[in-house]
Amino acid sequence: MRRRYFLPLLGGAAASCRRSARRLYVYNWSEYVAPETIPGFEREFHAEVRYAEFESNEELLAKVFAGNSGWDVVFPSHYFIPPMVENGLLAPLDHARLPNLANLALASPPWDPRLAHCAPYMIGAAGILYNPKLMAEPASWNALWDPAVKGRITMLDDPADTLGAALKRASRSLNSTRPAELAHARDELIRQKPLVRAYLNAEARDQVMAGDLMAAHLWTTTSLQAIAEAEHLRFLYPREGFAEYCDCAVILRECRNPELAHDFVNYLLRPEVAARIAQHTATATANAAARRLLPPELRESEALYPSPETAARGEYFATLPAAAQQLRDRVWTEVKAA
Amino acid sequence: MKPRTWFLLPARTVMLLLFAVPMLIVAAYSLLTRGAYGGQGAPWTLANYARLLDPLYLEILLKSFWIAALATALCLLLGFPLALFIARARTRKTLWLALVTLPFWTSFLVRTYAWMFLLRDTGLINTILLGLGLISEPLPLLYNDAAVVLGLVYGYLPFTVLPIYAVLDRIGPELLEAAEDLGATPAQVVRRIVLPLARPGLLAGAVLVFVPCLGAYLTPDLMGGGKSILIGNVIQNQFTNARDWPFGAALSAVLMVIVMGLLLLVRRKTSEHGGLP
């Protein structure tokens, strides 16, 4: 991550010697472009990109919500787009400057149906990574509540994802704000807790690969990294449903060079550029034209691009009102303290 | 102004900027209202403090006290003999001291991960025990409260060794010799001469361990696998996932007041007995 952060800066320093005054400040998730993505844009558009990376939405929001963050193009997860619009942080997208928006598979996402402010970039989801040598296919979330898996599973250390899994198991919405439904999810997670070895995020990957774990509630990208190393592992989306999120490119209102920022977003939406990024990061691109250019093992991956029947069971996280966020946080704390 | 005032100005400025101002910011935030999507703003309110009365948070606070107290006791128990050994060593004193401080050369995070590699199912300890046939299933060494305490004791042990050593080093050998001459057994020397004289060092070490343990969040998260939550984790979560900075600030403020109260208590106790070093 450090290296990536540094190289564009060095490249940028060289470019500024050539008197290119066009500069773009881009703030993206770590490991979220291909190595040639940024240099390619700099060469073609005679611009200098100052590129830096963040590890969580909170890190991004803390900088951007104050205004005057200094960034031009940033990549929040989809559920932060409505509040960012509401707070006047985003510049409207000029579709005339973004012909490549037509390449998107997600042409009308629920959080911004007319793509007025965001260009969907990458899609992620959470399901179950499991070891078929140690357990039967966990077709339902119930498999992670089965006493037979005691001490051999992990759940995500993320309130939205893990409350979401418990809610989905009860055939409720991920985004439920109803106290009774949340109380039920809490009780079920507390009941499950003795079976759970730990609440882990990416660290669960190595333990599934090592055979320590039968299964882990995990994100697609992390799971595919594990499967790339240990081919006997499998990933699936439980039948009751699963959580999805989409990281999007947005242009901040404070952007000093909207023209260049639009060029950059349009460049990222090019099929060959987006395909390289999707291939390098092994993440699902929101770009349909790019998906067609991918090697078959990625293009046909059921984990990255679930079939329409599976996809229909996915639900996007929603932006929740403050009171609901507080209630859910308390419920999560109760699970952790139990 | 007197020259003395001028000389103190840099120190006072540093204290003000690095200690008083951040505390005031925390206090101010704790009285604000959370924004709908994070952030904070008007109106001023005491609601964040009212939320603290929830038994859930009191229970977590109690547990944090218990874990911090346990870690402190273990640190003292291990740190005192080690400090005594170094203080009484005839040679290589500098080497022993350097070894105690050696862990500080790498980041705490990396060292915690190293412990996780030792303790996990396929880690060194379980592999050896399995290899020797002493166990048939890996022991669950990681992801429980014991692992959390182990991580804390490991992380903060040097903070007890150093102040205790500083005090013990100043006890003249003639005192101990005199005690022995008067017929005290080695155990009596330690109990009646060394321990009372080491008291200020023990107290300083206890404070230096207890306070950071009380606010620890990294160790419970990594060694405890997120299965137990301490007050530090609740606070951290308010500033990250929950995006509720005012509530996080209120929790921090209360924790600071409790810690300060404890420190005052310790100070009063020690000033009765000759003060901290």
Same domain, A97 and A131: no
Same domain, A227 and A133: yes
Same domain, A218 and A333: yes
- Those of residues 319-338 in A touching chain B at CB distance below 8 A are 319, 321-322, 325-326, 329-330, 333-334, 336-337
* Residue B228 sits at the chain A interface (C-beta within 8 Å): yes
Give a yes or no: residue A207 inside a domain: yes
Q: What is the CA radius of gyration of chain B?
A: 23
Give a yes or no: residue A287 inside a domain: yes
Same domain, A226 and A213: yes
Contact A158 B241 (CB under 8 A): yes
pLDDT in tens, B183-237: 999 899 989 989 999 999 999 999 999 999 999 999 999 999 999 899 999 999 9
* Residue B41 sits at the chain A interface (C-beta within 8 Å): no
pLDDT at position B36 over 90: no
Percent with pLDDT over 70 in chain A: 94
Tally Cβ neighbours within 10 Å of residue A69.
18
Of the CA atoms within 13 Å of residue A155, those in its CB half-sphere come to: 27
> Per DSSP, what are the bridge partners of residue A244?
A125, A316
Encoding tokens for residue A162? 């893990």
* Residue B109 sits at the chain A interface (C-beta within 8 Å): no
pLDDT at position B273 over 60: no
Separation of first and last alpha carbons in chain A? 36
pLDDT at position B31 over 50: yes
Q: How confident is the model at residue B272 (pLDDT cuts 50, 70, 90)?
A: low
pLDDT at position A214 over 80: yes
Give a yes or no: residue A62 inside a domain: yes
Same domain, A32 and A165: no
Cβ-based neighbours of B183, under 8 Å, separated by 6 or more: none
3-state SS class at A199: strand
What's the whole-number mean pLDDT along residues A22-30? 94
What is the extent of the structural domain holding A70?
2-123+247-293
Same domain, A186 and A325: yes
The ipTM assigned to this model is: 0.87
Question: What mean pLDDT, rounded, does chain A reach?
Answer: 91
pLDDT at position B6 over 90: no
Give a yes or no: residue A236 inside a domain: yes
pLDDT at position B249 over 80: yes
Q: How confident is the model at residue A112 (pLDDT cuts 50, 70, 90)?
A: very high
What confidence score (pLDDT) does residue B2 get?
A: 75
Question: Which stretch of DSSP H or E encloses residue A24?
Answer: strand A23-29
pLDDT in tens, B7-30: 889 999 998 999 899 999 999 999
Tokens 């029947």 belong to residue: A309
Is residue B158 within 8 Å of residue B104, measured between CB atoms?
yes
**Among A159, A200, A212, beta carbon nearest to B241:** A159
Same domain, A17 and A145: no
- Min Cα–Cα distance to chain A from B198, Å: 38
Homologous superfamily, domain B47-272: MetI-like (1.10.3720.10)
Q: Is B174 exposed, middle or buried (0-12, 13-18, 19+ CB in 10 A)?
A: exposed
Question: Which stretch of DSSP H or E encloses residue A251?
Answer: strand A242-251
CA dist B174 and A99 (Å) reads: 89
Residues of chain B with C-beta less than 8 angstroms from the C-beta of A159: 241-242
Phi first, then psi: give them for residue B242, nearest 5 degrees. -80, -15
State the total domains in chain A: 2
Determine if the pTM surpasses 0.80. yes
Which candidate in B32, B37, B219 is best for mutational testing of the A interface (most A CBs within 10 A)? Answer: B37
Cβ-based neighbours of B266, under 8 Å, separated by 6 or more: B203, B206, B207
Is residue A145 within 8 Å of residue A188, measured between CB atoms?
yes
CA dist B175 and A199 (Å) reads: 54
Tokens 């992380």 belong to residue: B155
Is residue A218 within 8 Å of residue A211, measured between CB atoms?
no
CA dist B275 and B277 (Å) reads: 6
Closest CA to A163 of A337, A338, A312, A335: A335
CA dist A192 and A196 (Å) reads: 7
Chain A CA closest to residue B54: A330
pLDDT at position A9 over 70: no
**Among A80, A211, A336, beta carbon nearest to B229:** A336
Alpha helices in A210-299 (DSSP H): 220-229, 258-268, 271-281, 288-292, 296-299
Same domain, A23 and A110: yes
Same domain, A117 and A263: yes
The domain segmentation of chain B, as residue ranges, is 47-272
Q: How confident is the model at residue B38 (pLDDT cuts 50, 70, 90)?
A: low
What confidence score (pLDDT) does residue A111 get?
A: 94
- Min Cα–Cα distance to chain A from B73, Å: 24
What's the whole-number mean pLDDT along residues A15-40? 82
Give a yes or no: residue A298 inside a domain: no
Which candidate in A208, A329, A330, A334 is best for mutational testing of the B interface (most B CBs within 10 A)? Answer: A329
DSSP string, A125-144: EEEEEE-TTTS----SGGGG
pLDDT at position B174 over 80: yes
* Residue B242 sits at the chain A interface (C-beta within 8 Å): yes
> Per DSSP, what are the bridge partners of residue A120?
A248
Closest CA to B204 of B257, B246, B143, B267: B267
Same domain, A37 and A117: yes
pLDDT at position A1 over 70: no
What confidence score (pLDDT) does residue A262 get?
A: 97
pLDDT at position B274 over 90: no
Kindly report the CATH number assigned to the domain that includes residue A254: 3.40.190.10
DSSP string, A208-224: HHTTS-SEEEEEHHHHH
CA–CA distances in Å: residue A60 to residues A74, B25, B240 = 8, 21, 11
What's the whole-number mean pLDDT along residues A264-288? 96
3-state SS class at A155: strand
Phi first, then psi: give them for residue A126, nearest 5 degrees. -120, 130
Residues of chain B with C-beta less than 8 angstroms from the C-beta of A207: 120-121
Is residue B209 within 8 Å of residue B156, measured between CB atoms?
yes
Is residue A242 within 8 Å of residue A315, measured between CB atoms?
yes
pLDDT in tens, B89-142: 888 889 999 999 998 899 999 999 999 999 988 889 999 999 999 998 888 899
B108-121: string of b/e by CB count within 10 Å (b at 16+)? eeebbeebbeebbb
What confidence score (pLDDT) does residue B1 get?
A: 63
CA A84 from centroid of its chain's CA atoms: 17
CA dist B205 and B165 (Å) reads: 10
Same domain, A178 and A228: yes
DSSP string, chain B: --HHHHHHHHHHHHHIIIIIHHHHHHHHHTTSEEPBTB-EESSP-SHHHHHTTSHHHHHHHHHHHHHHHHHHHHHHHHHHHHHHHHHH-SS-HHHHHHHHHGGGGS-HHHHHHHHHHHHSTTSHHHHHHHHTTS-SS----SSSHHHHHHHHHHHHHHHHHHHHHHHHTTS-HHHHHHHHHTT--HHHHIIIIIHHHHHHHHHHHHHHHHHHHHT--HHHHHHSTTSS--HHHHHHHHHTTT--HHHHHHHHHHHHHHHHHHHHHHHHHHHHTT---
Percent with pLDDT over 90 in chain A: 81
CA dist B176 and B160 (Å) reads: 23
Is beta strand A48-54 parallel, antiparallel or unpaired with respect to A23-29? parallel
Is residue B42 within 8 Å of residue B183, measured between CB atoms?
no
Phi first, then psi: give them for residue A129, nearest 5 degrees. -95, 130
Give a yes or no: residue A320 inside a domain: yes
pLDDT in tens, A66-90: 778 899 999 999 999 998 999 899 9
Tally Cβ neighbours within 10 Å of residue A56.
13
